[in-house]
Structure 1
Amino acid sequence: MSGARTDLPDGARVILASHNAKKLGELQRILTAAVPGLAPEQVISSAGIALPDVVEDAVTFEGNALLKARSAAAATGLLAVADDSGLAVDVLGGAPGIFSARWSGRHGDDEANNDLLLAQLGDVPDAHRTARFVCAAALVAPGGAESVERGEMVGLLLRERRGEGGFGYDPLFLPDGETRSAAELSPAQKDAISHRGKAFRALAGHVAQLLV
C-alpha cells in the first residue's frame, strides 16, 4: 500500500475503531472463530493509533457506526469495524438510545448514568421496566464496500445494581430468560446472548468474504 502507515502492527488486517479493550476482546473472539486463518493479533484496536477525531452526529446507531468505520478505513487502509450501541428503555420512548454513554452529561461516566436512570424509573412498576440493548456494527473496506448488522438483547431493568462484570448499564439489566444481570454473566455467556455478540457474529461473514 503506497504511503502505508508505520504505526500499525505488522500483519494487522482488521481494525476496531474503538479504544475499549472489552469490545476488542469480544471482536477478536468472534472473528477468529468465524474467519479461517485469522489470528487474534491481526484484529487490532485503534488504541495507540492516531486516527482523526470523528464527530458522531448521526441520529441512529447505524449512522454513527458507519461514520467511525469509514474514518478508520480511510486512515489506515485496513478493513475497519466500528459499533455504536446503547440502551433503549420502552417507558422512556427509547431513550437514552444514542445518548446512552453520556446520559448524565459526562461521556462514559457509568456510575452517574446508572444513578440517573434509576432515579428516572423510580416510580415505574416492574412490569413496565422493559428495555433492550441495541448494537449496530459496521464494516467498511478501503475500497468502499460497506455492511451494517444490528443486534438486540431484550430484558428488564432492575431496581439496584447486581454484579461486578461488564460495563455501562450491565449491572441494571436482566436479560430475558436469565436470573442473573448482564454484569453477573461470564464474558462467554454474555457474548452468546448480547446485542454486540449478535451484531459482530452477523458481521463476521462479511469480514470473511473480504479477507479471502
Structure 2
Amino acid sequence: MKRIVIATKNPGKAKEFKTLFAKYDMNAVSLPELSREIEDIDETGTTFEENAALKAEQIAKLLQTPVLADDSGLEIDALDGRPGVFSARYAGEPKDDMKNIDKVLDELQHIEDADRTARFVCVLAVSIPGESTLFKKGYCEGRIADTQAGDNGFGYDPIFIPNGYTETMAQLSPDEKNRISHRRNAIRQLEDWVKNFGKQMR
C-alpha cells in the first residue's frame, strides 16, 4: 500500500482524506502520525493556493514523499472578499472564533440580507517531489446570518447559511455539513486524480 502524507493536525480533516484515499488502496497519514515532528509552516501567502502550496511543497521536500495540504477560509462579497486568507485570525492574535464572528457581524450590521452573500473556499495542493504542484478548489455558497445559531460547527459555521438552507452550518448534523462543505467539494474534484495516481503507484 502506497502512502501520502496529509499536512494537517486536525483529526476531522484527516478522517475525510483517509476515507477518500483508502478506496484506492492508499494509506493517508496525518502529521501527528509521523515518526518525526513537523514544525508548523508559516502561511505567508496572499492566496489560498499559495498557502496550501507552501505547506505541501515544504513538507514534501523534507520527507521526499507525496503530500496533500489545504487552505480554506470565508469570502464575503460585501467586504470585498474579506476575511479570505486571514479568516482564522481576522480579529487578530491569538486566533479566536468568537472574536472573528463578532468582527464580521459588526462590519455587516448595515448590510441588507440580499447583499450578505458569501462562500467558504477550500484549496487542496498536492506536491510530489520532482513534479508540478496540483491544485483543486471547492466552494460552499451561502450568506451571512444576522446572529449566531448552532453548536455543531467551528469557525464561522454559526453565522453561515448555505444556499438552499434556512439553518446555519453549525445547526446542521455533521453528516449533512460534510456532504455540502467546501472541503468535501474540493475532495470530489480530487477524486479522479487519486484514482489514477493510485494505479500509477501500484
Q: Normalized against structure 1, the TM-score is what?
A: 0.85
| Superimposed CA distance per residue, residues 94-132 of structure 1 (whole angstroms, 9 cap, x where no aligned partner) | 000000011000253111111111111112111111111
Given that 1:73 and 1:142 are in contact with CA atoms closer than 8 Å, whether structure 2 keeps it comes out as yes
Aligned to 1:21: 11
Q: Which amino acid aligns with 1:124?
A: I
What is the correspondence of 1:155-174 to structure 2 with a 5 Å cutoff?
155-174=142-161
Aligned to 1:45: 30
**C-alpha separation in 1, matches of 2:69 and 2:171:** 26
**C-alpha separation in 2, matches of 1:187 and 1:143:** 38
Structure 1 position 142 matched with structure 2 position 132 = no
Aligned to 1:201: 188
Runs of 4+ aligned structure 1 residues displaced above 6 Å come to none
Of residues 108, 113, 116, the one that matches 1:126 is 113
**C-alpha separation in 1, matches of 2:51 and 2:44:** 7
Q: Which runs of 5+ in 1 are unaligned?
A: 1-10
Deviation at residue 197 of structure 1 after TM alignment: 0.7
- The number of residue pairs the alignment matches comes to 197
Q: Which runs of 5+ in 2 are unaligned?
A: none
Deviation at residue 52 of structure 1 after TM alignment: 4.2
Deviation at residue 177 of structure 1 after TM alignment: 0.3
Given that 1:137 and 1:148 are in contact with CA atoms closer than 8 Å, whether structure 2 keeps it comes out as yes
- Residues 107 and 206 (structure 1), Cα distance of their counterparts in 2 relative to 1, 3 Å cut: farther
The percent identity for this pair of structures is 39
**C-alpha separation in 2, matches of 1:132 and 1:170:** 11
Aligned to 1:108: 95
3-state DSSP of counterpart to 1:206: helix
Given that 2:24 and 2:194 are in contact with CA atoms closer than 8 Å, whether structure 1 keeps it comes out as no
Given that 1:12 and 1:44 are in contact with CA atoms closer than 8 Å, whether structure 2 keeps it comes out as no
- Greater alpha carbon shift after TM alignment, 122-131 vs 140-149: 140-149
3-state DSSP of counterpart to 1:59: coil
**C-alpha separation in 1, matches of 2:173 and 2:63:** 33
Given that 2:56 and 2:68 are in contact with CA atoms closer than 8 Å, whether structure 1 keeps it comes out as yes
Given that 1:16 and 1:43 are in contact with CA atoms closer than 8 Å, whether structure 2 keeps it comes out as yes
Given that 2:24 and 2:198 are in contact with CA atoms closer than 8 Å, whether structure 1 keeps it comes out as no
3-state DSSP of counterpart to 2:153: coil
Q: Normalized against structure 2, the TM-score is what?
A: 0.89
Q: Which amino acid aligns with 1:28?
A: K
- Residues 75 and 169 (structure 1), Cα distance of their counterparts in 2 relative to 1, 3 Å cut: same
**C-alpha separation in 2, matches of 1:76 and 1:211:** 19
| Superimposed CA distance per residue, residues 62-114 of structure 1 (whole angstroms, 9 cap, x where no aligned partner) | 11111111112122233211111110000000000000011000253111111
Of residues 36, 39, 44, the one that matches 2:24 is 36
